[in-house]
Structure 1
């Protein structure tokens, strides 16, 4: 472990990935109720990186600007949750959620509302599930949409040492494959708290299995 970073053990990483996957499964069920068709969501991998590394990672994968739904959360641990899509993917998502062939003007008109609603469902489901399974509570702010490249999205504030829990997500709806990312920005004390709560969760889970 180097200064200013925090590592998860393989067991901690597996446990947290499982928590997030349960959260996005619940989000998929909520989206299915909202739009009336099957939604598949999964999080195959998770990394903890610096803001600069997160900007570089997403810049290497995505040439276009990004559309981001962000929500602040606080409670047992605090930070910001971001749901990130490349611009073209976000437009595909709007078409998929709307379930209709929309003109570019119609997509533009609906985009922020559709993304805010979708982001709110996905991020709230993830955060609520994680908090519930860690036996803690979180309060979450209203979502807002921002746009820009990776450098803008992950730009640090003054004195901000936040690290990024960076999660790639696979998203499939109405036979459209939509890629995106979930990022959780937390400072080191918040991540240390989360790490301790994950350890407690693992101990409880192992205890449950052993009974």
Structure 2
């Protein structure tokens, strides 16, 4: 029993050393097309610091919005961690918004990455911000004086924003990688729009 516990402790220690992932996320306003009543927002990710870069596995990026002011999000552009669009990789499925929910007062976006490849081609995440997708919302009223904030569901607010990192194996009789949950770096940068009408007039 003692020998088993020792081996388990050693293996756990080795696995922990192989695990680097620690991430930050942010939302950026890309464009307000008030003539067409559209708002474009980018979702971006990076490693928290130089010691926490990682290979992207599966991920769910979740944030809430005020459905009184913006609604009906769709993916306008896919940029990374996807088999479509710019920097396409067949090691990932197309991005999806499966699990997103919109009610009269509020909505939750769930932007999903699905990894389906081998260890050779998982996309690295460094300390440079990487765009994941541009999301398009409908503007309910471009003359609205009120503002709004798109707020992240962090790693503690259910349903959480979370992702897994690909950890490579040296010997691969059956599987060529493991996945581990990447830790949030503590930076969840929301997007605040002070006034819809001021944004459109500007």
Q: Please report the TM-score for the alignment, with normalisation by the length of structure 1.
A: 0.29
Q: Give the number of the structure with larger relative contact order, counting CA–CA contacts within 8 Å between residues 6 or more apart.
A: 1
Higher helix share: 1
Asked which structure has the greater CA Rg, the reply is 2
Q: Please report the TM-score for the alignment, with normalisation by the length of structure 2.
A: 0.30
